[in-house]
Each structure stands twice: as C-alpha cells, then as structure tokens.
Amino acid sequence: MRHGVLPSPLGELTLARDERGLVGIWYEDHRGGAPADLGARDDAAFGDVAAQLAEYFAGERTAFDLPLAPRGDAFEARVRAALLEIPYGATRTYGELARALGGPGYAQAVGAANGRNPLSVVVPCHRVVGADGALTGYAGGLWRKRFLLSLEEPAADAAGRLF
C-alpha cells in the first residue's frame, strides 16, 4: 500500500492504493479519519487519480474510470455499488437506496454504510439526501456535500435557484 496527498477545492485529500486499486480518499478532517497505516508516501503514484479529479472539479468529468479496491463488508460493497448507479447531477434518498437493497428497514444500515464509504467523491455518497431532500450527514462535512452537489447541479436547475 502507498499513499499520496493531493490539493483540491475541498482541501487536501489523502489517497491510498494497493496493487488492486484505489483503497480510499479522505479529507483532512474526515470524520473517522484515514487508517493509520497507509504505507509509504508516493504522490507520483496518483497521477491518474489527480487527473480525473481535476477534470471532475473543472466540470469536465461526470464519472470516474479508476480501479477501486475499498475495504469493507459485503453489505458496504452492495451500498457502494448502489451509489455508483446514482447518475451525475441526481440524488437518491436513504430510503430509496434501502428499498433497492432489500427493504425500507435498511435505511439506517444504508446510512451507516454510506458514512463509512472510504472513496469520497469517486464513489458518490454525497448524492444521498434525507427523505425531504435535506442535506444530511457527510463524513467530510455538509459544506463539502453542498459544494459537490452544486458542482453537479444541471445548469437549468442552478439558474432557477434563489440562493
């Protein structure tokens, strides 16, 4: 495993990868933090990730094409797969994801797994909102979630916003 640090509009990002792919992307004040042992620092090993993130933040990329190798249990993997199905510029509620994964009773489990997503931005956990559309929990802070959703907001929707 190796890691790198990358500047972004959301602050420094710590990235980690192993031989299988990208293991995680964490904000500098990420709730729960990055794992303690991320291996040697090798910023040059993340050129592909840096390029795709730069394109995303410039509004030129709507999906990532990176090998992913996050840690977690089988349910967390199912939640991450469901998150990857949420289109750029769209949101889903925890309840909608829960129903897609087996039933409305899964909403809290979906929320917990979503909160443990180690691949911020790339696996779009920021696209999950509360039942009423409100911004709820985000390991990087609600200001980052708001930033990401605004970045992805369709131009016609942004033009009609009052704020």
> 35 to each of 38, 77, 122, 124, how far by Cα in Å?
7, 18, 18, 20
Question: Are residues 25 and 120 in contact, defined by beta-carbon separation less than 8 angstroms?
Answer: yes
DSSP bridge pairs for 92? 128
Q: pLDDT tens-digit profile of 69-120? A: 999 999 999 999 999 999 999 999 999 999 999 887 888 899 899 999 999 9
Amino acid, single-letter form, for residue 24: G
Q: pLDDT tens-digit profile of 6-38? A: 999 999 999 999 999 999 999 999 988 888 899
DSSP label at 95?
A: H
Give CA 54 to chain center in angstroms. 15
pLDDT of residue 10: 97
Question: Are residues 11 and 28 in contact, defined by beta-carbon separation less than 8 angstroms?
Answer: yes
> Which one is catalytic: 53, 79, 122, 125?
125
**Taking the alpha carbons of 69, 17, 89, 141 in that order, is the dihedral positive or negative?**
positive
Question: Are residues 65 and 21 in contact, defined by beta-carbon separation less than 8 angstroms?
Answer: no
Question: Are residues 132 and 95 in contact, defined by beta-carbon separation less than 8 angstroms?
Answer: no
Q: pLDDT tens-digit profile of 141-160? A: 999 999 999 999 975 455 55
pTM above 0.85, yes or no: yes
Closest CA to 53 of 115, 9, 2: 9
92 catalytic, yes or no? no
Question: Are residues 16 and 2 in contact, defined by beta-carbon separation less than 8 angstroms?
Answer: yes
